[in-house]
Amino acid sequence: MDGKAEPLDAIIVGAGISGLYQLHRLREMGMRARVIEAADGVGGTWYWNRYPGARCDIPSMSYSYSFSPELEQDWEWTEKYPSQPEVLRYLEHVADRFGLLRDITLGTRVTAARFDEAAARWTVTTDPAGELAARFLILATGCLSVPKLPEIPGLDRYRGRVHRTARWGAGEESFDGLRVGVIGTGSSGIQVIPVIARQAAELTVFQRTPNFSMPAGNRPLDPAEVAGMKARYRQWRQAQRASGFGMPSDPPTRSALDVSPAERDAAYQAGWDRGDLTSLIRAKIRATVHDRDLAEALSPRTFPIGTKRPCLDTGYYATFNQAHVRLVDLRATPLAEFTPAGVRTSEREHELDAIVLATGFDALTGAIAAIDIRGQGGAALADAWRDGPRNYLGLAVAGFPNLFTITGPLSPSVLSNMMVSIEQHVEWIADCIAALAAAGRRTIEATERAQENWVRHVAMVGAVTLFPTADSWYMGANVPGKPRVFLPYLGGVGEYRRKCDQVAAQGYRGFTLA
């Protein structure tokens, strides 16, 4: 990449769902934009997380772009919850269909970005070495794109195979006849464990915190159901945008206490059978797992339901009834170190031929913090965010003009169907850039005051819920030393959209335009 080339209108970092759509949208406006992506292909999350069993937990027909009615009608989803290969195929199709690849540089990481005040433009530095300049810098770097390693020493000493769910390569699928250990029982662990159990000679699951999980009830899509959704897609999309979490649902019309126990149980059971109920779980674990102590060890007790990301699974709890599957409760016997032969807990060494790390992500801020970003006066974003992220609307940061984040911290992001939140941000950013151009302005920057109010509002909305009571990645609690801040915005997708639209309609209230 040649920094002396004519500056672009926009540089977009990341070629996942966000970056692909942002590029398309800006190009449609006649702007010159380029996407820089570290991976060797497009797809983001769905490129990197190729572990066996990886699956989306939002129904496919709702976890898809809405911006193109033709795409929506043409694409044929095959399952209720799409597998990773199917989502990746879809995103590759989108990149191909809209001719996006010619403006995407793959295999290149953005390492630094600095704002030149005189020229009112961003210059980014990349690895492999290169420089690129543009009026706007848009971080489509992902909420869950920086995987974490376990916090114990010795991984480099371990002589067996190491797999990471978030960096799964081709040809890593067979565990036939091996003694396998899986560390981590979050969403990825819960998906990969039943699949590996079918292959491994012995499977040891190392669990720090049990999670609430419900049966996904995945199944092939029925052609009549697909046709029905396609006929009402436009209304459905509208309802998604106005909903709380990007998935429309009918609000309850009666209190659980107003009906008989039998009626209540029947309603709960119906919800369970549909795979969308978040109660009853502990009772279901006891009914599924034969060994009482094991059932108890798998039952979440330390946080209220819903305050950590609830999981959907396919046969997770039943997997533990198999004689060759063992659970190690790390609350009782914590991990101490990797050894050449496996891992050691406070109790003993476990010898393993392969270890699968499903140990989560440095969520929401990790990928942004990994870039050395310098704004007005050379100030570092890392310093501005030392005590936790501070921004306006989860979209823009005071002191960092013409910088936008897609589904950044303090926006609904991970507490929503991300597809809906991503489209909203992409469209808001594109409209904002168009409005600036129309007004003959070069820069837009959040004011300190608007930022302060937004940070306070997000914290206040979070504080009236039970979310801050859980040691979750929503709180940054899974990363040692990360400030304890409730990272997503809980105000709801529809309400949040309304607020963003209002800001735009009022001439970008809370921003300085120059």
Task: Say if residues 389 and 488 touch (Cβ distance below 8 Å).
Answer: no
Near ligand FAD by CB under 6 A: residue from 27, 32, 97, 109: 109
Q: Which stretch binds ligand FAD (CB under 6 A): 148-156, 220-228, 415-423, 487-495?
A: 415-423
Q: In whole angstroms, how close is the CB of 19 to ligand FAD at the nearest point?
A: 6
Whether the Cβ atoms of residue 425 and residue 406 lie closer than 8 Å to each other: yes
Minimum distance, C-beta of residue 405 to ligand FAD, in the bound complex (Å): 10
Is 488 among the residues that bind ligand FAD (CB under 6 A)? Answer: no
In angstroms, rounded to a whole number, what is the distance separating the alpha carbons of residues 488 and 120? Answer: 30
With contact defined as beta carbons under 8 Å apart, do 162 and 186 qualify? no
- Which of 14, 342 has the CB closer to ligand FAD? 14
Total chain residues near ligand FAD (CB under 6 A): 37
Rank residues 14 and 184 by Cβ distance to ligand FAD and give the closer one: 14
H or E element at residue 393:
none
CB 326 within 8 A of CB 205: yes
> Looking at residue 16, what DSSP letter applies?
S
CB of 357 to ligand FAD, least distance (A): 13
Alpha-carbon Rg for the chain in angstroms: 23
For residues 109 and 198, which CB has a smaller minimum distance to ligand FAD in the complex? 109
Nearer to ligand FAD, 13 or 180 (CB): 13
| Binding residue for ligand FAD, selected from 10, 12, 18, 410, defined by CB under 6 A | 18
Question: Residue 323 CB: number of other CB atoms within 10 A?
Answer: 6
Q: How many helices (H) and strands (E) does the chain have?
A: 16, 20
Residue closer to ligand FAD by CB (options 417, 478) is 417
CB of 262 to ligand FAD, least distance (A): 34
Q: Is the peptide bond before 194 cis (omega within 30 degrees of 0)?
A: no
Torsion sign, CA atoms 382, 387, 389, 392:
negative
- The single residue among 8, 23, 94, 110 that binds ligand FAD, judged by CB under 6 A, is 110
Q: Is 418 in the site for ligand FAD (CB under 6 A)?
A: yes
One of 31, 58, 352, 433 touching ligand FAD (CB under 6 A): 58
Q: DSSP string covering 25-78, please? A: HHHHTT--EEEE-SSSSS-THHHH---TT-B-SS-TTTSS--S-HHHHHH----
Distance CA 444, CA 138 (A): 13
- Encoded one letter per residue, x for contact with ligand FAD by CB under 6 A and - for no contact, window 347-376 reads --------------------x--xx-----
Please tell me whether residue 289 binds ligand FAD under the rule CB under 6 A. no
Closer to ligand FAD at the Cβ: 141 or 359?
A: 141
- The reply on whether position 415 binds ligand FAD by CB under 6 A is no
Pick 166 or 289: Cβ nearer ligand FAD: 166
Q: Which is nearer to ligand FAD, 19 or 342 (CB)?
A: 19
Residue ranges in 24-53 that form contacts with ligand FAD under rule CB under 6 A: 36-39, 44-45, 47, 49
46 φψ region: left (φ > 0), alpha (ψ -120 to 50), beta (else) = alpha
Q: Does 294 bind ligand FAD (CB under 6 A)?
A: no
Q: In angstroms, rounded to a whole number, what is the distance separating the alpha carbons of residues 284 and 264?
A: 16
Q: Please identify which residue in the block is written with the tokens 């929401």.
A: 364
88 binds ligand FAD (CB under 6 A): no
d(CA 119, CA 191): 49
Which of 57, 72, 329, 423 binds ligand FAD (CB under 6 A)? It is 57
Residues 352/183, Cβ–Cβ less than 8 Å: no
Binding site for ligand FAD (CB under 6 A): 13-19, 36-39, 44-45, 47, 49, 54, 56-58, 63, 109-110, 140-145, 188, 367, 370-371, 406-407, 417-418, 422
